[in-house]
Structure 1
């Protein structure tokens, strides 16, 4: 009875189910790109290099990757770097070491991206994460 009550409401407010990504059915090029970026997240990777790996044009790869993941490949790579950096900082590693280990150009570059993403500097995060 509850289902019959809420079904019209859900149907009228639900997004187009065909537009939603299907779990486990992502494009092989997207899967390949994600795996490649996860394996090489510390390196500078050009979109042309990713396109060559997937046998697609850079424009097409960027478009399907953004549709599937919600981010362009470069932003996805930055998320991988920052997630790894967060883990290393929580383990107590020095900020300059973490910046180098996660592929950032320098500590300033790392701090700028970390602060933009997590709204605090890496040093502050390191101190607070170690308390818990």
Structure 2
């Protein structure tokens, strides 16, 4: 597994494997990918899916999936994990996120937008190039989603962004629903509803994922698992490992080993 340097919360990887690569897990980002070699198979929304070279993989935030090579030839693919707020920002967060029902699509425009940003994993993408790719990717997702999306009010938009900023700034601390109600002016249930509509996940999951992002950064500079768990805001190493596996389909030790060996 090759892991590119993250940029503006965007993560890019290349994975090569035989057999089962990832156990069931879910991200709070869009996971968008290109199958480059072999047959990519995964279970998603209750069905087995297959992707051949030339197809685009589109996984919506918070949707459980796994990953495996469909043949003995093995599998090579590249993925980008895009924060939903980048997709939402293209239209000013005025509508709910686009949902693409079919996770395997043939879309030349979307393929090219992804290929442009996934071509070079050795260098951080230029800011203008990233902005252009995000715009084209958002257009492709909207095109594939097809159905009109629900309009989000300015009040709800402001509340969600305030909650998001608070969660990012306090990710290593205990955050309670009362805190978010005070900050946003929305009750916890309405906030949860609007948060998912704009960012594709719940406030709690968003908080956990920010802790996991910090954990990845700490591991990448050599921190041990126990130290990482404590500094990122998890109660202990077992708590950290459980959430990491749910989010990424492998243990933090396995992820760190794959990342290190790919250098």
Q: TM-score, normalised by structure 2?
A: 0.41
Tell me the C-alpha RMSD between the 2 structures.
Answer: 2.1
Given the alignment, which residue of 222, 246, 258 partners 1:116? 246
From 164, 172, 186, the equivalent of 1:56 is: 186
Gaps of 5+ in 1: 1-11
Larger fraction in helix: 1
Q: Gaps spanning 5+ residues in structure 2: where?
A: 1-142
1:1-132 correspondence runs (5 A): 14-19=145-150, 27-131=157-261, 132=263
Distance 1:37 1:13, change over 3 A: closer
Larger Rg: 1
Q: 2: distance between equivalents of 1:19 and 1:74?
A: 23
Distance 1:123 1:68, change over 3 A: same
Higher strand share: 2
Distance in 1, Cα, partners of 2:241 & 2:181: 30
Give 3-state SS (helix, strand or coil) of 2:159's partner. helix
1-structure distance, mates of 2:221, 2:144: 44
Please report the TM-score for the alignment, with normalisation by the length of structure 1. Answer: 0.79
Question: 1:105: how far off?
Answer: 0.6
Number of residue pairs the alignment of both structures matches: 117
